[in-house]
Amino acid sequence: MTIGFDILAEDGAARRGRIQTAHGEIETPAFMPVGTAGTVKAMRTSEVRATGADIVLGNTYHLMLRPTAERIDRMGGLRKFMRWDGPVLTDSGGFQVMSLSELRTIKEAGVRFRSHIDGSYIDLSPERSIEIQHLLDSTITMAFDECTPFPATHEQAAQSMRLSMRWAARSRAAFVQRPGYGLFGIVQGGVYPDLRRESAEALNEIGFEGYAIGGLAVGEGQAQMFETLEETAPHLPRERPRYLMGVGKPADIVGAVRRGVDMFDCVLPTRSGRTGQAWTWDGPLNLRNARHRDDTGPLDPDCPCPVCRDYDRAYLHHLTKAEEVLGLMLLTEHNLWHYQELMRGLRQAIEERRLDAYATDLEARWNG
């Protein structure tokens, strides 16, 4: 078999599930910490695992440039290279080609771009993207796509989406099937319901182990993102996991879970930790704020993480103001714990069929 997916409970459109892979199980709804260059920044993999994370994300674009996929393959694959004992999902590199590289040229064959590291020209095609992810020994491989920019006209979004669908078919053909591994297709189409439906139907016809929803959280706003999810999710196979790429804030995750999404990733909790921001059940805290300098209380009294157990706000404020490395490490650890606690709460709420009440309580605290 490839990867498996069992739906254990449902509450409205929300699903509580479990993904079976060659490298372990993933409880869903799941949040995947982002390990762009083979590391979740400021965290050891044992600490990431302690938060409750079942899977981490690696980045094809960054790893192909440095240290190269071939080198990682010689080291035994990305999991061994970074000392992570669970599943790994790698994105296809398409988003980073759009957002980071210079002088890119998109053609039917693929993309030619200049490296943001040394300026060299690199060609990336669907076949090469799949090959790189195979060399990385990715548990879940993503089809190569073009991330449609926002805003885009209907015509621009249609052309981009249809190119991605042709690339999806080539990605499927290039993927090497192995027990416990899988390939996810990516739905595109901007904010246009007819294009999202067309994209989903094209991917269904090709057939994938899971389905991602791409091209959102790129500036369209939460309301439009939720509308697009409502137009997209019903056209995806019920028996396969659904992954909303690059999302996001806790409120975005809760809203997407209520609309049938199973998997998430975002740099926000780790990036926030490196910039002095902590996520709590009462909303984000800026640890640079002077009001924390004499506060001997924990970051969040309702958080079970080691940071909230062992350190107070005054010390974390001092570390942040002094730009000590320990400060960003501790805030990153807390933030990842917070996100995993949120996912545990969502899973339990779905099991107990009280997701609406759980979401309402969260929103009241965030807005209080």
SS (H, E, C) 123-191: EECHHHHHHHHHHCCCCEEECCCCCCCCCCCHHHHHHHHHHHHHHHHHHHHHCCCCCCCEEEEEECCCC
Asked if omega into 234 is within 30° of 0 (cis), the reply is: no
Confidence (pLDDT) at 100:
61
pLDDT tens for the chain, 368 residues long, are: 589 999 999 999 999 999 999 999 999 999 999 999 999 999 999 999 999 999 999 999 999 999 999 999 999 999 999 999 999 999 998 777 766 656 688 999 999 888 888 888 889 999 999 999 999 999 999 999 998 888 999 999 999 999 999 999 999 999 999 999 999 999 999 999 999 999 999 999 999 999 999 999 999 999 999 999 999 999 999 999 999 999 999 999 999 999 999 999 999 999 999 999 999 999 999 999 999 999 999 999 999 999 999 999 999 999 999 999 999 999 999 999 999 999 999 999 999 999 999 999 999 999 97
Per-residue model confidence (pLDDT) at position 19: 98
Q: Catalytic: which of 11, 145, 265, 300?
A: 265
Contact between 238 and 210 under an 8 Å Cβ cutoff? The reply is no
**CB 333 within 8 Å of CB 51:** yes
Handedness of CA 309, 312, 315, 318 (dihedral sign): positive
pLDDT value at residue 1: 57
Q: Which tokens hold the place of 350? A: 């779905």
Which of 91, 137, 145, 262 is labelled catalytic? 91
- Give residue 231's pLDDT: 96
Q: CATH number of the domain at 4-266, please?
A: 3.20.20.105
State the first-to-last Cα distance of the chain, in angstroms, to the nearest integer.
48
Model pLDDT, residue 198: 98
Look at the block and give the residue holding tokens 């805290």.
285
What is d(CA 23, CA 365) in angstroms, rounded to the nearest whole number? 37
Domain ranges in the chain with CATH number 3.20.20.105: 4-266
SS3 content of the chain, % helix, strand, coil (to 5): 45, 20, 35
d(CA 171, CA 243): 18
Per the annotation, the verdict on 265 as an active-site residue is yes
- Cite the beta strand spans of the chain per DSSP E: 4-11, 14-21, 24-28, 30-32, 56-59, 88-91, 102-107, 110-114, 121-124, 140-142, 182-187, 210-213, 242-244, 263-265, 277-280, 283-286
Residue 189 pLDDT: 97
Other CB atoms within 10 Å distance of the CB of residue 23: 20
- Supply the pLDDT for residue 113: 86
Tell me, yes or no, if 145 is annotated catalytic.
Answer: no
